[in-house]
Amino acid sequence: MASKNTTDKDAASVRQRLIDSADRLFYQEGFRAVGIDRVLAEAGAAKASLYAHFGSKDELVAACIERRTLDAKAQILAYVEAVEPEQRPMRLFDFLVDWVNQDTFRGCPVQHLVAEFPEAGHPARQQANLQRQWLQGQLELWCGAAALSDAKQTARALAVLFDGALAAAEQDGPERASDARWAAAQLLDAHR
């Protein structure tokens, strides 16, 4: 008979495999384009496992976006911590340039989610909204530290530049992130 500890580890492993497989497939091909059967096959899991851990595909999508957004926060914070807070708005755009130049870049998963699931009540939209609020809050904090003439408005404009650069880089190529970085520098200089 398997011990409870072994059973818990097996369940956590299945849950992790489901998230890993779904996340990879959703990011590469789209949330709606990938069916549950494909995720289950990639994860080597039974349909009952999906429903035991998530209840539905929508909850699995939410778990994937939650993991993506937590990873993104950690990556951004690690990237900007090397500079003083007042320099962090520009450092965020350096992060953006590096991100879109990665071979694995296929756009922003949060933007993809919002495009594919316009329903405000979708469980993954809450994660997307939390990520947006967090990024806006960080930009406001950093712009405030830079003593800009209108830190809150500048932070909102930088968020728009960041989002636009992500969408444009996916369609036009990574040079759009460099364009956004240039525009961010102009904006910040104008408000110092």
List pLDDT tens digits, range 18-61: 999 999 999 999 999 999 999 999 999 999 999 999 999 999 99
What DSSP string describes 131-144?
A: HHHHHHHHHHHHHH
The structural domains of the chain, ordered by start, are: 1-55 (1.10.10), 58-190 (1.10.357.10)
Q: Kindly give the confidence (pLDDT) of every residue in the chain, 192 residues in length, as a single tens digit, with 9 standing for 90 and above.
A: 555 554 555 667 999 999 999 999 999 999 999 999 999 999 999 999 999 999 999 999 999 999 999 999 999 999 999 999 999 999 999 999 999 999 999 999 999 999 999 999 999 999 999 999 999 999 999 999 999 989 999 999 999 999 999 999 999 999 999 999 999 999 999 998
CB 81 within 8 A of CB 150: no
What's the confidence (pLDDT) of residue 6?
A: 47
What's the confidence (pLDDT) of residue 40?
A: 97
3-state secondary structure at position 46:
coil
The rounded mean pLDDT for the chain is 94
Q: Token pair for residue 157?
A: 């404009």
Q: Contacts for 23-31 with beta carbons within 8 Å, 24 or more apart?
A: 23/64, 23/67, 23/68, 26/61, 26/64, 26/109, 27/68, 27/106, 27/109, 27/112, 28/106, 30/112, 30/116, 31/61, 31/112, 31/113, 31/116, 31/117
What's the confidence (pLDDT) of residue 12?
A: 75
